[in-house]
Structures are given as structure tokens and as C-alpha cells.
Amino acid sequence: MPAVARINTDDVLSRTGSGFGCGSPMQTTTGAIGSPNVFVNSIAVVRQSDVVGVHPAAGCSTDTSGLSSYSSTVFVNGLGLGRIGDEYTSDNVIISGSTNVFAG
């Protein structure tokens, strides 16, 4: 089972760096808004439709991609839970998560 993703903490790989003005693959984080009341390791979890973090490269404008793949069996506030391997659209994939909490 993949590790659970937490907001503003876990890493996201932008495969093409196509975050609106970006030019190459880069790493960012999960976004800053997640569950208001479900936490893993004292950090709010990422859910379906939560937005990816800001792309750190110069010239990148805001990427508003929402989490589009997520658990089909674990729900948080009625939304699918984000985990390693889940994607914000097809360009941004979560590549890190909790070291001790996993979900199917």
C-alpha cells in the first residue's frame, strides 16, 4: 500500500515542468490546503481536488492542478485520499509521503 500524502510537506515531481511558464522537470510540494480535521503525523492529509504546491522555478505562474487520482477505498471528508503515486492532473505526481501511515 502507498504512503499517505500530507499537505505542504510531501514532494511532487512535475514531469515536464509545464506549470504555466516553466521549462523543465522540477520538484515542488503538495499544496497548502487539505483536510481541516484529518491528520497524519500531525499534518493535514491531501484529498481529491486539493491543489498542487507552487512551482519553485523562476518564471512559473500558479499551477491550479487539483489531485485527480486518489484512493478509491479510503475517503477523507467525503473525498478520496492522496498517496504516493497519485497525480495532480497528468503532469504532477506525488513522490513522497508518511513513513508510517499507508492506505489502499
pLDDT at 19 exceeding the cut of 60: no
What is the structure's pLDDT at 17?
63
Cell output for 37: 480535521
CA–CA separation, 58 and 100 (whole Å): 34
High-pLDDT (> 70) share of the chain, %? 90
What is the structure's pLDDT at 25?
78
CA-based radius of gyration for the chain: 13
pLDDT at 16 exceeding the cut of 90: no
What does the pLDDT average to over 15-44? 84
Number of domains in the chain: 1
CA–CA separation, 6 and 40 (whole Å): 7
Average pLDDT, the chain: 90
Residue 52 belongs to domain with CATH number: 2.60.200.60
pTM recorded for the entire structure: 0.90
Helices and strands in the chain, H and E counts = 0, 8
Task: Please give the residue that has the higher pLDDT: either 17 or 66.
Answer: 66
What is the structure's pLDDT at 23?
67
Domain that holds residue 42: 1-104
